[in-house]
Amino acid sequence: MKKKEAQAELLKPKKTVTERERTFAMIAIPILILFFLFNTLPLIKGFIYSFTNFKGYGSYEWVGLRNYIDLFTDARVGKSYLFTVKLAFFTTILVNVLSLLMALGLNAKIKFKSALRGMYFLPNILGALVVGYIFNYFFTYIVPAIFHSTSILASGSKAWIAVMIVCAWQAIAMNTIIYISGLQTVPEDVYEAGMLDGATGWSKFRHLTFPLIIPFFTINMVLCMKNFLMVFDQIMALTKGGPAQSTESISFLIYNNGMSGGQFGFQSANAVIFFIVIVTISVFQMRFLNSKEEQL
Amino acid sequence: MSKKNNDLSAVKVKEKFNWPLTILLILGLITVLFPLYMTIVIAFKQPSEMTNSISGILSLPQHWSLSNFREAMEVTDFWRSLLNSVLITGITMGLALVIHSLMGYAVARNMQNSKFYRTSYYYIVSGMFVPFAILMMPLVKQTAELHIANVVGVILCYTVFYMPMNVLLYSGYLKNIPVALEEAAHVDGASTWTTYWKVIFPLMKPMHATVAVLTALGTWNDVMTPLVIMSGSGMNTLPLAQLTFQTQFGTNYNLAFASYLLALLPMLIFYLFAQKQIINGVVNGAVK
């Protein structure tokens, strides 16, 4: 009897907790299962396929690490990594320099400030594929007509510049807005104090403004790099990887050869490597830029 | 005395607009507006007006005829594609607001004292680093096996793809909402579930706006996911239709551009009315 009472005592406060705990568990568990099914499970499957010679249909065999070994000797894969990294690197620099300039301009004392900001943000909301098609026409017909030249998209050595311009056209809109929100966090009295010390122009930017907006610089660098490494829509609309496979991004190659080229297994291995590259670059970038942030 | 003068002039300068910069920025708008201008004029012209010179391509059309648009709508099955896009974006957005906010809530309220929720949080958020390229091929197989290689499969995929970012946003926001509010409701006899919907969910309105904008922009413009998952179903989303019917446009660029303009139009109209919310949403999402 005594025991029972004690038990009831013990259970009582616990029961109110369990209602809350049970509700949370009933929320979290189905969601975790859903996430597992459409994220982790395909990730594991992709990893498993990477050790097979699966074509995407029919039977397949285990080939061990052969796909991985072949990846490093495959000229087409190597070329696509070179192209993607080159594109991501130069586009990230171009976008960040121009965005910062744009943000400084749009944050200055100008007329029609909000209207201009709204207009400059416009490219970001448009679909990359359709934008790509529009620029495809622009590069194929308008630009050659102006400069009496051949189309840049037909040049194996220069087509990547067209891809860079289209990527930048949309990304600048986004990064400018992020830099503007960064500039707005800089308190006005910092500038006033700087003005007394004679800081103007470049030195004002270099020593006052920029250190204060470094967190936003970090965001933009990481966002840009990640997005451009995964570039797909622009390639699809502008070059389809051509001419002569000179603009095949990694995502495009995985899609093209993995889905319809009978290289399901091989491209799965490529995707695993790509995944590792993305994680490494993102982590490295965040570490590097964070340490810079702390120094200042 | 002279110092006072200086101060006065400084104040005056402050209130003045920087006109040269304003003009420069207005001129710079050409880079944004020219592609759109080109799209509009080509979309309204007839192929016979498209001479090889630039002036032939870029001059205003002789007649503002809607015939290209009528034809483009037929060729690309515009209304069907639009409906699919609206369905996918709308349902994904709704699911994101419900599912992702619930998960953010469960995680934010238990992370401190429960290893399970802490692990769940890092498990989901680390999904942000997984590129679609690695999930693509297995997902195609999986959705086909489950017989959801259609709009349903695409929506489920999106709900999972946007979960890492949205759970991160929601749980971050919830850290600033005091637990005391829930405790008060609890004392009044409300269950955790009721408390969530009656008290917490409405309080997260600013974050709902951010999540809605980010999820909607991403899904509306995405091509890759519907391309690989719905390709066998004969269904299109609005952007995907531009890819699917590319060969049918052939060299009739007027038809193609009418179709592109139609594909851009819903977003342009939406942006016209919700510009502030969209910009705020995108900035909040990136900065937080």
Convert the pLDDT of each residue in A44-53 to its tens digit: 999 999 999 9
Written in H, E and C, the secondary structure of chain A is CHHHHHHHHHHHHHHHHHHHHHHHHHHHHHHHHHHHHHHHHHHHHHHHHCCECCCCCCCCCECCCHHHHHHHHCHHHHHHHHHHHHHHHHHHHHHHHHHHHHHHHHHCCCCCHHHHHHHHHHHHHCCHHHHHHHHHHHHHHHHHHHHCCCCHHHCCCCHHHHHHHHHHHHHHHHHHHHHHHHHCCCCHHHHHHHHHCCCCHHHHHHHHHHHHCHHHHHHHHHHHHHHHHCCCHHHHHHCCCCCCCCCCCHHHHHHHHHHHCCCHHHHHHHHHHHHHHHHHHHHHHHHHHHHHHHHC
Across the interface, whether the CB atoms of B129 and A279 are under 8 A apart is answered: yes
Please say if the pLDDT value at position A290 is more than 60: yes
Cα A10 to Cα A212: distance, rounded to the nearest angstrom: 55
The predicted structure's pLDDT at residue A292: 63
Note whether B140 and B271 are same-domain residues: yes
Note whether B60 and B106 are same-domain residues: no
On whether any CB of chain B is under 8 Å from the CB of A174, the answer is: yes
Interface test with A, best of B45, B137, B225 (most A CBs within 10 A): B137
Q: A210-255, pLDDT tens digit by residue?
A: 888 888 898 888 889 989 999 999 999 999 987 888 999 999 999 9
Any domain includes B1: no
Task: Provide the pLDDT confidence category of residue B244 given band limits of 50, 70 and 90.
Answer: confident
Nearest to A28 among B106, B131, B163 (CB): B106
Tally C-beta pairs within 8 A across A and B.
Answer: 242
On whether any CB of chain B is under 8 Å from the CB of A41, the answer is: yes
Across the interface, whether the CB atoms of A130 and B132 are under 8 A apart is answered: no
Note whether B32 and B118 are same-domain residues: no
Please say if the pLDDT value at position B3 is more than 50: no
Contact (Cβ atoms closer than 8 angstroms) between residue A160 and residue A83? yes
Minimal-distance CA residue of chain A relative to B19: A110
Any domain includes B10: no
One-letter amino acid for residue B181 of the chain = L
Among A122-131, A147-156, B49-58, the range scoring the smallest mean pLDDT is B49-58
The predicted structure's pLDDT at residue B113: 87
Cross-strand bridge partners of residue A52: A62
Please say if the pLDDT value at position A200 is more than 80: no
Expressed in angstroms, the distance from the first to the final Cα of chain B is 48
Note whether B28 and B166 are same-domain residues: no
Mean pLDDT, chain B, whole residue set = 88
Span A137-152, average pLDDT: 88
Note whether B34 and B133 are same-domain residues: no
Span B232-261, average pLDDT: 88
Note whether B105 and B221 are same-domain residues: yes
Across the interface, whether the CB atoms of B224 and A251 are under 8 A apart is answered: yes
Span B104-124, average pLDDT: 93
Any domain includes A129: yes
Nearest to B131 among A31, A178, A274 (CB): A274
Q: What's the CATH code of the domain at A251?
A: 1.10.3720.10
Any domain includes A59: no
Note whether B186 and B142 are same-domain residues: yes
Across the interface, whether the CB atoms of B35 and A216 are under 8 A apart is answered: no
Mean pLDDT, chain A, whole residue set = 87
Across the interface, whether the CB atoms of B134 and A108 are under 8 A apart is answered: no
Task: Provide the pLDDT confidence category of residue A293 given band limits of 50, 70 and 90.
Answer: low
Residue A22 in tokens: 């049970």
Task: Provide the pLDDT confidence category of residue B173 given band limits of 50, 70 and 90.
Answer: very high
Among A21-35, A175-189, A264-278, the range scoring the smallest mean pLDDT is A175-189
Note whether B188 and B236 are same-domain residues: yes
Nearest to A108 among B21, B109, B267 (CB): B21
Note whether B221 and B147 are same-domain residues: yes
Note whether B106 and B207 are same-domain residues: yes
Any domain includes A3: no
Any domain includes B236: yes
Any domain includes A181: yes
Across the interface, whether the CB atoms of A232 and B130 are under 8 A apart is answered: no
Interface test with A, best of B25, B31, B220 (most A CBs within 10 A): B25
Contact (Cβ atoms closer than 8 angstroms) between residue B22 and residue A112? yes
Residue, of B282 and B56, whose pLDDT is higher: B282
Query: Residue B52 is part of which domain span?
Result: 20-65
The predicted structure's pLDDT at residue A36: 96
Cα A109 to Cα A87: distance, rounded to the nearest angstrom: 35
Query: Residue A120 is part of which domain span?
Result: 78-295
The predicted structure's pLDDT at residue A294: 54
Across the interface, whether the CB atoms of A278 and B131 are under 8 A apart is answered: yes
- Residues from chain A that touch B110, judged by Cβ atoms under 8 A, are 24
Span A253-274, average pLDDT: 91
Please say if the pLDDT value at position A105 is more than 80: yes
Cα A78 to Cα A67: distance, rounded to the nearest angstrom: 14
Any domain includes B8: no
Nearest to A38 among B156, B228, B239 (CB): B156
Across the interface, whether the CB atoms of A109 and B130 are under 8 A apart is answered: no
Number of domains chain A is built from: 1
In angstroms, what separates the C-alpha of B239 from chain A's closest C-alpha?
7
Among A2-11, A153-162, A182-191, the range scoring the smallest mean pLDDT is A2-11
Interface test with A, best of B50, B55, B134 (most A CBs within 10 A): B134
Any domain includes B6: no
Q: What's the CATH code of the domain at B140?
A: 1.10.3720.10
The predicted structure's pLDDT at residue B143: 93
Nearest to B129 among A28, A120, A282 (CB): A282
On whether any CB of chain B is under 8 Å from the CB of A193, the answer is: no
Please say if the pLDDT value at position A295 is more than 80: no
Please say if the pLDDT value at position B206 is more than 80: yes
Any domain includes B11: no
Please say if the pLDDT value at position A15 is more than 70: no
Any domain includes B270: yes
Across the interface, whether the CB atoms of A133 and B228 are under 8 A apart is answered: no
ipTM of the complex as predicted: 0.88
Any domain includes A46: no
Cross-strand bridge partners of residue A62: A52
On whether any CB of chain B is under 8 Å from the CB of A24, the answer is: yes
Cis peptide bond N-terminal to A243, omega within 30: yes
Note whether B123 and B260 are same-domain residues: yes
Across the interface, whether the CB atoms of B134 and A19 are under 8 A apart is answered: no
Contact (Cβ atoms closer than 8 angstroms) between residue A256 and residue A241? yes
Number of domains chain B is built from: 2
Note whether B39 and B77 are same-domain residues: no
Interface test with B, best of A23, A43, A125 (most B CBs within 10 A): A125
- Residues from chain B that touch A28, judged by Cβ atoms under 8 A, are 103, 106-107, 117, 120
